[in-house]
Structure formats: structure tokens, C-alpha cells
Amino acid sequence: MATVPYLYDEKREMERALGQVRAARERGVKTIVEPTVMGLGRDIRFMQEVGRLTGMQIIPATGLYTYNDVPFYFHHRSVDHMAGLFIHDIEEGIQGTSIRAAFLKCATDEPGITPGVEQVLRAVARAHRRTGVPIMTHSHPRSGVGLKQQDILEAEGVDLSRVLIGHSGDTDDIDYLTQLVERGSFIGMDRYGLEESAGYLSTEKRNATILEMCRRGYVEKMMLSQDTCCTIDWFEPEVVAALAPKWNMTYITDEVIPALKAGGITDAQIHTMTVDNPRRYFERQGAY
């Protein structure tokens, strides 16, 4: 919104962010893993202020978010050049600050592995190999692109156990999810609050999938979370409120976890998916 500032009310958005983050903090959430990167309007100073005012630890990312093409700046520059920008965010700091990115983010959606998307995937892989920070992807499970992401990352020499294939909970295809975890990756069961009214799976189907994956012994490969953001300019606010009224930072704690426990998930398994697995994901560091 930098080019059309009259469309962005920073004070209003700060109040909105503080309200959501404080509500999560009151429910015992201590850390937010924040995968807003280039292409999504990242503002690291805004994140820093939210963290300062709420006491929430916010872990930032670097990378580039696109479903198709990359910005024209990258059209005539190499994969290694893009990787270098990500490495700078990790080793030096983001947007002229000393705040360093702690993980890498890339995206593949329904259009599949376009040339632009592949460029980002390979750049993320190379930055990961150089720095050792883990990788998180945005994926489109209904088209099976998580496996294609794994293929490209693996071709670049990435250890897939250091990768989280995000939004995997958008499908209840157990065979597909099993393939992802058997190749070593974590999977994100992370879009709670986006329901059938918005074209996604219901909470009940998401929970049933987690229950089955736990039954099969994969609790140590799942991350339980949501993909909500305090502000999204893709839609008018009233559209988001109508289509996804529970897409917020407290739906997991208030409704999802109690429902999972009622279905047979134990406190220990909840702790594994919300604390232990994220810790292991970030603890494995080191270039290779």
C-alpha cells in the first residue's frame, strides 16, 4: 500500500493487530511464527512494534510469495542473486534493521510450478543450504504440489526433514499426506478458520484427518496452527468477516483444541504439535 497510502490506515491496523495478538497471548500463546515475506507487504518495523507492545515473540521470515511470475527486477537476474537477498535478510537484517529472518518461505498454488515459482523454490533452497535456517512452503494440496515442491528442493540438495509443507491440512487425502511425511517433511495442519463457506475443509474434516494421522503414528510430523493474518488487502474486510468469521488467532485455543481432545487426542499430542515439533523445526541449524 506504499504507493496508495490513503488506502492504508496504520493506526487502525496496529490496533487490530494488537487486539488479536493480545488475545492469543492471554490464552498462553508465547510465539508467533510470521511468514509474511516479499510479495505480501512485509513491514518488519510494524511487526517489531507489535511484539514490543504485546510481549509476544515474533519470528520473521524471508523469501518471496508468488503463485505465478516474479517481480520484473528478477527477470534478468539469476537464482543465486535472489538467494543472496534472502541470505542478507538472514545474516544481516531485514529492511535496513538488525532484525534477522529465522526461516525461509516460498509458495506454490494451483497454477503449479511456473518458471517464476521454480526460481523462488531454488533460491530458497540455496539460501537454506548456505544458512541452515528451515524452510516453510505455501502449498495447494488439492493439486498435490507439495510433492513437487519436495522434488525441486531435494534436487537442490535440501534435507526434506528441515522443510514444512504448509497448508497440508487443506486436504483429507491421507495417502498424499503420508507421502509427504514419509519423505521426511513436517506438514502444516494450519488453516483452521477457513471453512467450507470459503471453499476449504470444515473444522470437523480437519480434525478427523489429524486424528487419523496420529493413529498412524505421525504426530511428530504435524504442526497445529492457523494461517490467519491481522490484515489482508486481497478482499474487503466485510467479505473476510462473512466468509471466514472464525479466521483469527484464538480459534485454535478456544475451539479446535477442545474438539480434538474430545475426539481422543491427548494433551501430550497437542503439546507435540504446538510446542515440540516447532522447537525441533527451528533447533536444527547449520549450513551443509
| Nine-digit cell string for 51 | 511484539
DSSP 167-190: TGGG---HHHHHHHHHTT-EEEE-
What is the model's pLDDT at position 278?
98
The pTM assigned to this predicted structure is 0.95
pLDDT tier for residue 231 given thresholds of 50, 70 and 90: confident
Residue 2 has pLDDT above 70, yes or no: no
**What is the Cβ-side half-sphere exposure of residue 25, based on CA atoms within 13 angstroms?**
15
Cα–Cα distance measured from residue 136 to residue 230, given in angstroms and rounded to the nearest whole number: 20
Query: Residues 140-171: pLDDT tens digits?
Result: 999 999 999 999 999 999 999 999 999 999 99
Query: Residues 234-243: pLDDT tens digits?
Result: 878 788 788 8
Q: Report which of 206, 135, 195, 121 is spatially closest to residue 166, judged by C-alpha positions.
A: 135
What is the model's pLDDT at position 150?
99
Mean pLDDT is lowest, of 33-42, 79-88, 225-234, 260-269, for: 225-234
Which phi and psi (to 5°) does residue 224 adopt?
A: -95, 120
pLDDT tier for residue 173 given thresholds of 50, 70 and 90: very high
Average pLDDT of the segment spanning 85-104: 98
pLDDT tier for residue 230 given thresholds of 50, 70 and 90: confident
Cα–Cα distance measured from residue 99 to residue 126, given in angstroms and rounded to the nearest whole number: 21
Contacts with 65 (C-beta within 8 Å, 6 or more apart), sequence order: 37, 38, 39, 40, 105, 106, 107, 138
What is the model's pLDDT at position 1?
52
Residue 281 has pLDDT above 60, yes or no: yes
Which residue did the predictor score with more confidence, 5 or 110? 110
Query: Residues 244-255: pLDDT tens digits?
Result: 888 899 999 999
CB burial class (10 A; 0-12, 13-18, 19+) of residue 211?
Answer: middle
Question: Does CATH number 2.60.120.620 belong to domain 10-283?
Answer: no
What is the model's pLDDT at position 24?
98
pLDDT above 70 covers what percent of the chain? 98
Longest dimension (CA), the chain: 54
Instruction: Locate the domains of the chain by residue range.
Output: 10-283
Residue 284 has pLDDT above 70, yes or no: yes
What is the model's pLDDT at position 3?
59
Mean pLDDT, all residues of the chain: 95
